[in-house]
Amino acid sequence: MQFGLFEERPQYYTSLDELVSHMMQMTDDPLYPAGTRMVIYRGNPDARLMIIGEAPGTEENRLGKPFVGRSGQLLDQILQAVDLDSEKDVFITNAVFRMPPGTDGRPIRKPTSEEIAWYKPFLLEIIRLIDPAIMILMGNVATESLLERVGITKLRGQWFQWNGRWAMPMFHPAYLLRNPSRKQGSPKWLTWQDIQEVRRKYDELVANK
Ligand code: URA
Ligand code: URA
């Protein structure tokens, strides 16, 4: 997939506000015809820890902010468990910025690889402007976008160096909601190990600086 986008748009925005206002007016993106809302971020633009999810869901589409439905509540709890405040300590965004509507009565489907690739330059601009030290890649869509790899079960729990930043793939909270066991080795149990490792890295790079 080619990022032909850069031929048509300025590659660099001077501020997050400028990028956001441009994105809010966009009408040529692949999910614009679906009529779903542009959802960009919540949290603190000065945070050094960024969380990258998949795409807005129905609650996010309704409210215009990422991770405000059930997955978002679980995400907030995961962060709170290691004393990270989801409004103050983190910046939360997605790999795809409009909800992909489902078919056959389903409200939502997974974003396609073409959609992930199309929105990626915008995610890259968000990362450049926010300048996080650490990124959590929540689920396969986020890893496909930034690492060009999927297979979250194998990828999770490891640090990747991504253009001078640290990136940790983790299970998506929606996956944890479908797999509620807390037994040793379960997705929830593994997520607890992963978030503690993120906290350790955060203390090393951010909190104790
Ligand atoms: N799931 C995501 O990946 N992102 C959201 O914003 C909401 C749910
Ligand atoms: N599949 C996903 O897309 N994400 C997960 O976190 C787990 C399985």
Taking the chain (209 residues) in runs of 10, the rounded mean pLDDT of each run is 46 91 95 97 98 97 98 98 97 98 89 97 96 98 97 98 97 97 98 98 91
Q: 190 in helix, strand or coil?
A: helix
Start-end of H helices in 4-161: 5-8, 16-25, 58-63, 70-81, 113-130, 140-147, 152-155
Bridging pattern class, strands 49-53 and 160-162: unpaired
The residue with tokens 């997520």 is 191
Q: By C-alpha distance, which of 51, 124, 133, 39 is closest to 85?
A: 51
pLDDT at 12: 86
Q: By C-alpha distance, which of 112, 95, 98, 114 is closest to 32?
A: 98
Decide whether any atom of ligand 1 lies within 6 Å of the 56 Cβ: yes
- Ligand 2 pocket test, pick from 145, 152, 176 with the greatest ligand atom count within 8 Å of Cβ, gives 152
pLDDT at 2: 39
CA–centroid distance, 152 to ligand 1, in Å, is 16
Domains (range + CATH), the chain: 2-207 (3.40.470.10)
pLDDT at 208: 77
pLDDT at 1: 32
pLDDT at 150: 96
pLDDT at 84: 98
C-beta separation of 161 from 76 below 8 A: no
pLDDT at 152: 97
